[in-house]
Amino acid sequence: MAEYEHGFAIDADVCDGCLACMRACPTNAIRVKYGTASVLAELCIDCGSCLTACPHGAITAQTVRLDDFRDFSFRVAIPSPVLFGQFPPDVRPDQVVHGLLAAGFDAVWDYSIELGLISRATVDCIRHWHGQKPLISNMCPVIVELLQVSYPRMLDQLLPIVLPRQIAARQIKQSFSRELGLPPEEIAAIYVTPCQAKTISILRPAGGGRGFVDGAVGIAQMYNTVLAEAQEAAKSGRQTYGWSPVRSAGILRWATPRPLAGRIGRDRYLSVTGLPDVIKVFDDIEKGRLRGIDYLECRACWGGCTHGNLTVDNVYVAAAKLENLISDLPEFDDGGQAEVERRYRREDLTPAQKPEPRPAVHGGDLRERVRRVKDAARIRERLPGLDCGLCGAPSCDVLAEDIAGERGALTDCVFISPQRIEELRHLHHRED
């Protein structure tokens, strides 16, 4: 079975088996047995729903610090556009750059060119696409994993373009290697991320292999240091390195749920945020109910990436700050647009590998898959259909699938096994 690395950990000493995380999981990846939650790694999509649902703090995001990259000779930040909406209104983007440098990065990359390349490539791809529509954005790793686990037939509709942070990291290693005379492997390209899912997608890309990005640090991990340094620079009037990575509205639009709204026909471009609504839309696509849409921009977090689990500010406040920043900027930066056009003619923006269905979920030969479906249907008839969750699975249907896949038993059901009731009473009994 394939090994899957995920970005969340469950502390068995803190977990009390309350079922909240199991009920929140959109892919039925969590089981609660013997009073403790556990994760079926092949079904987990790193959405963080369990992290939010847990009332006891038993689930935590596994974070990375900048110090973890100390073995590299030169460390370059690739800041997510979300970062610039996290600070007070009087903190300018160039002061945020100063804060990143003061916090320990050796350089900060101008990410706007790569985002411009992706905007241009996406519009061209939609215009010339002859496959099934709508095309689905690949920017949110949770959405890609959701397709791999729950909607494998729709993977062919994923936008076939490499992620902008990978293009940036490739360029970083080439540029600084020439400038500094260092081997590319000694130059770290580090994404400053709004969510844990992107950290994991860098370490374990959905398409397999490894890209050019060496890792990611969360906005929350860097925030206090960057803010303090940025505010100190503003008060003292110290040099803030004289440039801003935000020279046009285009880069900041990528922090919003509709980054391409001005470039794709609005009546054929649909933006959906929040996993429950994304799942409803995907169900409609599978049933043929969604027509006339060319491009689907999906984000797992409600409100988009400004609501990522490694951000700091309130999602509404951050969105308002970004709108204010966007309103003060020109739509395009002439110099940046010229560089986008120059690089677009010569760069390969095709991903090395495309994501495939999770083999542990959809694998096995046809005979074995048919057997499991038939066995699950037969077992399901013996279960009560109350979906109480006391068996440790989120529903009777899932328990039937677990039993058919030999990772559960009929005696897990409290209506079939009185012993199960006694086990639960022993685990959860509390003295008055």
Query: Is 299 among the domain residues?
Result: no
What does the pLDDT average to over 276-290? 94
Query: Is 411 among the domain residues?
Result: yes
Query: Is 321 among the domain residues?
Result: yes
pLDDT of residue 174 exceeding 60, the answer is yes
- Do 113 and 223 belong together in one domain? yes
pTM: 0.91
pLDDT of residue 296: 96
Residue 3's pLDDT band, with cuts at 50, 70 and 90, is: low
- Do 191 and 322 belong together in one domain? yes
pLDDT of residue 123 exceeding 70, the answer is yes
| Residue with the larger pLDDT of the pair 332 and 90 | 90
Domain that holds residue 227: 66-130+160-264+305-344
- Name the average pLDDT for the chain: 90
pLDDT of residue 343 exceeding 70, the answer is yes
What does the pLDDT average to over 56-85? 93
| Residue with the larger pLDDT of the pair 189 and 422 | 189
Q: Which three-class secondary structure string do you get for the chain?
A: CCCCCCCEEECCCCCCCCCHHHHHCCCCCEEEECCEEEECCCCCCCCCHHHHHCCCCCEEECCCCHHHHCCCCEEEEEECHHHHHCCCCCCCHHHHHHHHHHCCCCEECCCHHHHHHHHHHHHHHHHHCCCCCCEECCCCHHHHHHHHHHCHHHHHHECCCCCHHHHHHHHHHHHHHHHHCCCHHHEEEEEEECCHHHHHHHHCCCCCCCCCCCEEEEHHHHHHHHHHHHHHHHHHCCCCCCCCCCCCHHHHHCCCCCCCCCCCCHHHEEEEECHHHHHHHHHHHHCCCCCCCCEEEEECCCCCHHHCCCCCCCHHHHHHHHHHHHHCCCCCCHHHHHHHHHHHCCCCCCCCCCCCCCHHHHCCCHHHHHHHHHHHHHHHCCCCCCCCCCCCCCCHHHHHHHHHCCCCCHHHCCCCCHHHHHHHHHHHCCCC
pLDDT of residue 241 exceeding 60, the answer is no
- Do 196 and 85 belong together in one domain? yes
- Do 316 and 415 belong together in one domain? no
